[in-house]
Every structure is written in structure tokens, then in C-alpha cells.
Amino acid sequence: MSISLYDLSVPTFLQIVRAMSGYLERAASHFAALGVDPDTIVNARLIDDMAPFHFQIEAAWHHAVWGVEALQTGAFTPPALVGPVPFAGLQAMIANAETALEAVSPDAVNACAGKRLDLQIGPRRLAFTSETFILSFSLPNFHFHAVTAYDILRVRGVPIGKRDYEGRLRTRPA
């Protein structure tokens, strides 16, 4: 069985982006039930030297949407970080990510297979192919930020579990 570049990327990003939407909604409901403004979580951190919740959501959005765009353009160029925004704005980012990913065609992504993609991070230049960029840079970063956002919610008492993080699995028909 062969697997395409599209199959490796877009459905995987969508699975977790949709799960993020779900656990953000659960968090909003949880905070509302407690009479807590969900905006109080925006600057929450797991530990002082880690980036805050809003950054985790924004970085996950960037790695999903601009990771796929990088396959097509050859450059990873997400927009500048917007910084702290209200909780509803973070939910909107994830909704926008889902919409953007749903609009990506399999043919457009698969046409990028084997393409060179270079990334400049400060003085370091990282030379990738489309496949190695997605598998060794974009997906790991995306999952790191998505799970860190999940962890911040969990540590603040939001009743979510592993299945909330996994989202809807892409199982085969029985």
C-alpha cells in the first residue's frame, strides 16, 4: 500500500484540529459552568519558561495551515504572531485552520512530492524535501503545541481525556 503526501499531512492535521475545536468548546463550557471567564486561561502556562496557552493554539494553527502551504510554495512563512487574544479568538483560529485545510486539494499537495523545501531559522538553514519537512518538522511541532494546549486545559481542571485529544480516528470499515 502506498500513502500519498496528502494522506500524511492534511487528514492528520484535520483530525487534531477538529479535536482541538472540541476540547476548546469543552473548556468554554467548563469555565462557563464554574462562572469563570475563559479569557483567564489565555496567558496560562504549564511552567514559567514555556509559552502561554494562546501561543500554543496559534503555533498549532501555523504548523498545520502554513505547513501545508509550505509544501506548495517551498517556504514556511506563517504570519507574525498576534499575541494574546480572547479565548473566542483562539477558537476562531482553530475554526479557520479547519476551513483552510478542508480547502486544500489532494492533487495540489501530491504534486509537491519530492520537492525541495528550505527553512531558515536564525543562522541555520534546514534543507528538507516536502516529505521530510512534514514528517520531521511540521507534524512534530504541530502535535507539540496541540498537546501542550490540551495539557494546560487539563491542569486547569477541564474534564478532557486522551480521546478528546485524538479526535475521530480514521479507521477502516469493519
Under the banding of pLDDT at 50, 70 and 90, the label for residue 146 is very high
> Does the predicted TM-score (pTM) go above 0.75?
yes
Pick from 121, 118, 111: which is nearest to 72 by CA? 111
Q: Which of 16-25, 51-60, 119-128 has the lowest mean pLDDT?
A: 119-128
- Specify the DSSP element, H or E, that contains 69: helix 53-73
Summary mean pLDDT of the chain: 94
Torsion (CA) 46, 49, 50, 51 in degrees, nearest 10: 120
Pick the CATH number of 5-166 from 1.20.120.450, 3.30.9.10, 1.10.3720.10, 3.90.470.20: 1.20.120.450
- Which cell is 63 given? 504548523
- Structure confidence by residue, pLDDT tens digits, 147-168: 999 999 999 999 999 999 999 9
Are 71 and 130 a contacting pair, CB within 8 Å? Answer: yes
Share of the chain above pLDDT 90, in %: 83
- Rounded to an integer, what distance in angstroms lies between the CA atom of residue 174 and that of residue 171? 8
Domain residue spans in the chain?
5-166
Give the per-residue pLDDT at 1. 60
